Structure 1
C-alpha cells in the first residue's frame, strides 16, 4: 500500500517550506546557488510546454536595497511595514513573463509560475534558505532596470536565511485564515484541516 509516512523527507520539507519575511541580511547567497534554483524552476511543468517565464537573479547588496522599497509585505499585518535593516532579503529572483513565448493565455502562464516558484522555495529550504513570494510590486521597480518590451515583471521572490519561526495551526472551516504574530514574534499560519479539504460528491443521476 502506498502511504506517505509522517517521517517522509518530502513531507517534512513541504511542512517547513513556509513564507519567511525576516532574514539574516548579512548571510550572503551566491549567484551559482540562485542559478541552481532557477534550474529547478525551469524543470517544472508548463501548459502547452510554452515555458514563458524568465528569471533575473540579484544578490548585490546595493541593488537589493534599491529593490526593497518597491515591495509590499504581509497584507494581514497592517502595522508592520516589512523587515528592518539587518533583517531584509539577501537576494531576489525576479520572475518575468516573456509574452513572445506565450502559446496560450496569461492565466495558463500563471499556473506555470506557481509550479516554478514552489520548486524554487522547496529547493531553497532544503539548503536552509527561506523565501517569500511577493506580488505587491510598485511600478517603480520596472524603471530600475532596462527591461525589454517583451518582458513584464509578475512576481518577486525574496530570499535569505530565516530569522523568524513560522508554525502551522490547524483551523476549522469557520475559523479565520489570517496569519498573526504572537508576543514573542512567532508567526502563526492557519491551515484548513485535511478533512475540510476533501469532498465526496455523488454522481448525477441520469
Structure 2
C-alpha cells in the first residue's frame, strides 16, 4: 500500500482549481506532519493554511513553477492549486530545522494522495515578498510552500534516456514525464567491504 501511495505522489502542477479543500482536511494533513519524526524532537515547524481564492492568488504570485519547463509560467487560471500549506521554521526553537521540512512535506503529500488529492513542494519562493504579505514575525522563516489540489494532469515515471538527462518534460498531450535512475544505478554494492 505505501508503494502505491509513493507512486501516486508526484509533483503535480495543474489542478482543478474549483475543487475546494476544506480547512479541516488541511489541518488533518498538518497533523500527519506533526506526528512525523523530528530531528532531536525539537518540532520547530509551524504552518499557515490557505484555501480561499483571494489568499491563494496572493501566495501564487510569489512562487516559481517547474524550472525545467522554461516556456511555462505556471498553471493558468482554473488550473491553479485550490489550497496551500506554508511551512515555517520557528527560529526561536531551532536555527536549523535539519531534515524536518522534507519529512513533514512528504507526510503531508502522502496523506493528500490517500485522500485523492495531489500536491507539489515548492522551494522557488520569493520569501521576502511572501513574508511581508503574511506579516510574519522575525522569528519565522519560510521553509517550503506546499501547493495542493485535485490533480488535473497525468504524471508518468520513465527511465533516464541514454543522454543521461534528469529533466522532466511534457509531451504534446501535456502528459508530464519524469525520468528516474534505475535501481541498479543507485545501489553501489550489496556486498561493500567493511
CA contact (8 A) 1:172 1:192 kept: no
Deviations 1:8-31 (A, max 9, x none): x21111001000000000000000
**What is the CA–CA distance in structure 2 between the aligned matches of 1:174 and 1:114, rounded to whole Å?**
29
The whole-number CA distance in structure 2 between the counterparts of 1:147 and 1:112 is 20
Q: How many residues align?
A: 192
> 2: distance between equivalents of 1:134 and 1:49?
24
Give the number of the structure whose alpha-carbon radius of gyration is greater: 1
User: Equivalent residue for 2:122?
Assistant: 134
Of the three residues 72, 89, 107, the one matched with 1:119 is: 107
Q: Which runs of 4+ in 1 moved over 4 A?
A: none
- The equivalences for 1:1-206 within 5 A come to 9-102=1-94, 106=96, 109-138=97-126, 139-171=128-160, 175-200=164-189, 202-203=192-193
1: CA distance between counterparts of 2:98 and 2:67? Answer: 21
Unpaired runs of 5+ residues, structure 2, are none
8 Å CA contact 1:17–1:130 kept in 2: the answer is yes
Preserved contact between residue 173 and residue 196 of structure 1 (Cα < 8 Å): no
* CA RMSD, 1 decimal: 1.4
Unmatched runs of 5 consecutive residues or more in structure 1: 1-8
Q: Structure 2-normalised TM-score? A: 0.95
Contact 1:24 1:163 in 2 (8 A): yes
